[in-house]
Structure 1
Amino acid sequence: MNNPGTHAHHLDDVRILDLFAGPGGLDVAAHFLGFKSIGIEWDRNACETRYAAGLPTIHADVSVMRENRFDEIPKSVDVLAGGPPCQSFSVAGNGAGRRALDTVKEFIHRLVDGEDEARIDEDLHSLGDSRTALVLEPLRWLIKAIETEDRDPYKMIVLEQVPAVLPLWEVYAKLLRGGEGRLAGVKYEAECWELKTEQFGVPQTRKRAVLVARMPGEGAIEPLEATHLPFELQRGKRNAPQAETFPTDFTISGAKPRWISMAEALDAASKLKDSPVDVSRLRTGSEIKFFIVSNYGSGGDPKNRGRRKSSEPAFTVTGKISRNKVYKSLADYEADRFDRFTIPEAGVLQTFPHNYPWSGNDQAQQVGNAVPPRLGMHVLGRALRGDTPSAEELAASSTWPSVSPATTDELRQLGCGDQSRCPPESHKVTRSRQETAP
């Protein structure tokens, strides 16, 4: 396994290109599986986290990189991965992407059929939400690799998004299997799934649409087998036992343990060496016991805030997680005495290592935008190795290796250079933050 804190040649042996890389969810997963990656990320703050974590990064717009800087991607890259921004498809977003699903399907076919891309871009712009078009970028990167003379097509493709995008991934998969149009001669085995994160050991309920594709020769792509029970198995059923009555090793028919709770995840992280996770404020005696009130309403009523107990998985961790209120007791709730999750705690609920070096501004947004690394380990393990992460790999993923300031500086130079090729205005001094990224 490469240690990102000591690797002298940051682009040597890079196999995975992570589009829309964020603070590093898929890259963290790749690291613990023994694969090296490079990410493209436009947000300066997420880049600062990545540099601090020792992850090779290019601070750039994904579309600009494809159009003008494609030759800068190491030729050793043979895996295309990424999770395009999901706000326009998300239930929490404005829904423009969901309403435009059929239209976007047409754009996918137009790209593969070879229609003029300038016309396609013009029509995409008319959709009204530029982020909706970003779901096409992985396909455009694949086509670019196929049509670039000194490049080989990617051997594997791994994409994830909110469940609403599953119909688009299904269109992707059909075209990848067919090898027609601009994909002529290049065929993939391809499968799509909707996955529940708590069924893979992530202490939160979150659904993701995943596509895995790889060139023939590695055998059929087997579905991912869940390692834990779904949260809904106990929740919401009349006369069902309370969640806290199920111990961690609870199984049905000896099959799988139940999901992991917030209390279990935070308690385990707090016990690790030099952990920034301190849950002493949430303890009553020896027990961690609290409940959270969501920032979001449920059932269409913004005043009807959802609640979860510490003995249950967290709600989906979003960029607004710092707005969730944490109460130790009903008395605290009635007096409106509440706490908030810290950034390290929010990261642990996403399954980032307890000591992950969150940096820059808007850290809650970084945490919420990320792919849960533990889910990423299962997906990448299936795509790249045809298996699931080992118990040893999963155990190791709780702690991130230290990264020297020199390495961080080298990666910042690699990613930003003189800043002239970074996204416009991204390093500009603002009135609210009188500073620039180093």
Structure 2
Amino acid sequence: MSEYRLIDLFAGVGGLSLAARSLGVPSVGIEWDQDACSTRRASGLATVEGDVRDFCPADFPDANVLVGGPPCQTFSAAGHGAGRRTLEAVQHSLRHMANREKVPSRLAGMDDERRVLVLEPLRWALAALDANRPYEAVVLEQVPAALPVWEAVGDVLRVEGYSVAHGVLHAEEFGVPQTRRRAVLIARRHGVAALPTPTHRRYHKGPSSPADGPSLLPPVTMGEALNRRRPFVLVSSYGSGGNPAVRGKRSSYQPAPTVTGKIGRSRVITEEGVESDRLTVAEAGRLQGFPDDHPWSGRGIFQQIANAVPPPLAEHVLSAALAFDHNPAPSQLTVEVSTQSA
């Protein structure tokens, strides 16, 4: 039996929990959305339906690994808009938490509660430390714009004795048939934290070059991931490059674009220009790294898929966090990462 037991905050349909199960690590997830909980239960994942803020480490005394992806709006550090002000407020609150001080009430009164939820993983980590039951590892993931928040969380965890690594990972570099970027933090109580080593080349629109890693596998394409007989072009249902009139296109010889809740509306056209059947739920799940027979349940399934952590990426991240040997291919790629040891 694994020496690790995982508590998954903001667990969604279970991308991280499924990865943990694949690695032989027991887990339980906390999730408030009824439909995501329905899918989790159909998947056989231990699930607590509720608000993360209503629980604490003492409620899950056996858990010694903390993971989660709190909902994050754009914490942009650029410009002078609401995003920057929010980031500054969150960083200020994290410093209060590090000093075991009360978080300023003005943050709790913001119009978007997601700006408070992003503080929850650190609350849990510090509470476990103060109870003399620190988590052996902490793993956080979200959209790339959340990286400054993870950097601030990492600063606090280093002071508390953790080794920390954070950066932006590309999902196609870990066998996901989709180009998707995620900001990831890995903190370890023992040993040196490091992000996982890619096993596949990064996708580029142009031809590959030697710098792309000749020893790595090529990115997995939509054609390889899906069981469609004929080559096709996927035409996005939403704008590309900031222009709502321009529809992004990817051929079946390429990885899919980032899967969103609108993926089911994307048009599928054969090479001859003939309209084909649109993506099914199973196909959209496959592009996110789920098996064809995954038991999706409840409403808004395309959105459930889009919100999920791709299980193949999650498996590599957890393997790195728990020092499991899960990277068979050496890497010659550089990942956007900063690593320091306490």
The two structures have a TM-score, normalised by structure 2, of: 0.88
Going by fraction, where is strand more abundant, 1 or 2? 2
Match of 1:123 among 88, 101, 106: 106
Correspondence for 1:134: 117
Kindly tell me: are residues 138 and 212 of structure 1, through their superposed partners in 2, closer, same or farther at Cα, counting changes over 3 Å? same
- Residue 54 in 1 paired to residue 73 in 2? no
Report the CA distance between 1:383 and its aligned residue.
0.7
Structure 1 residue 200 corresponds to structure 2 residue 174: yes
The CA deviation at 1:316 is 0.6
Aligned-pair Cα RMSD in Å: 2.5
User: Based on CA coordinates, which of the two structures has the bigger radius of gyration?
Assistant: 1
- Give the conservation status (yes or no) of the 8 Å contact 2:196–2:327: no
The alignment status of 1:369 with 2:329, answered yes or no, reads no
Q: Deviations over 1:369-389 (max 9, x none)?
A: 000000001000011124325
- One-letter code aligned to 1:102: E
Q: 1:40–1:352: structure 2 CA closer, same or farther, 3 Å change rule?
A: same
Q: Distance in 2 between matches of 1:64 and 1:377?
A: 28
**Which residue number corresponds to residue 273 of structure 1?**
none
Structure 2 match to 1:39: 29
- 2:296 equivalent among 352, 358, 376: 358
- Runs of 4 or more consecutive aligned structure 1 residues displaced over 6 Å after TM superposition: 250-253
> Per-residue CA shift, 1:259-282, capped at 9, x if unaligned?
010110113xxxxxxxxxxx3xxx
Cα distance, 1:105 vs structure 2 = 1.0
1:345 aligns with 2:290: no
Q: How many residues align?
A: 325
Q: Separation in 1 of the partners of 2:212 and 2:86? A: 41
Q: Give identity over the alignment, percent.
A: 46
Aligned to 2:94: 108
Q: Pick from 150, 157, 165: which aligns with 1:169?
A: 150
Among 3, 6, 14, the residue aligned to 1:24: 14
Q: Trace 1:398-413 onto structure 2 (pairs within 5 A).
A: none
Q: C-alpha separation between the residues in 2 aligned to 1:222 and 1:144?
A: 24
Task: Give 1 or 2: higher helix fraction.
Answer: 1
* Unaligned ranges ≥5, structure 1: 3-12, 180-186, 268-278, 392-438
Q: Which residue number corresponds to residue 381 of structure 1?
A: 319
Pair 1:228-2:200 in alignment:
yes
Amino acid at match of 2:153: Y
Aligned residue identity for 2:47: T
- The SS at the match of 1:311 is coil
Q: Which runs of 5+ in 2 are unaligned?
A: 330-342
Describe the shift of the 1:303–1:220 C-alpha distance in structure 2 as closer, same or farther (beyond 3 A).
same
Letter in 2 for 1:163: P
| Worse-superposed segment, 164-173 or 369-378 | 164-173
C-alpha displacement of 1:325: 1.6
Moved more, 165-174 or 374-383: 165-174
Match of 1:263 in 2: 223
The 1-side partners of 2:186 and 2:318 are apart by 9
Change (3 A) 1:207 1:56: same
**Correspondence 1:153 to 2:159:** no
Q: Tell me if the contact between 1:89 and 1:162 (Cα under 8 Å) persists in the aligned partners.
A: no
> Secondary structure at 2:106's aligned position in 1?
helix
**Is contact 2:201–2:213 with CA below 8 Å preserved after alignment?**
no
- Measured against aligned partners, the alpha-carbon deviations of 1:389-437 in whole angstroms (never above 9, x if no partner) come to 569xxxxxxxxxxxxxxxxxxxxxxxxxxxxxxxxxxxxxxxxxxxxxx
Instruction: For 1:353 and 1:207, locate their aligned partners in 2 and report how far apart those are by CA, in whole Å.
Output: 21
CA contact under 8 A between 2:89 and 2:107: conserved in structure 1?
Answer: no
- The alpha-carbon deviation at position 193 of structure 1 amounts to 1.6
Contact residue 228 and residue 259 of structure 1 kept, 8 A: yes
Aligned positions of 1:325-336 closer than 5 A: 325-329=267-271, 331-332=273-274
1:89–1:132: 8 Å Cα contact kept in structure 2?
A: no
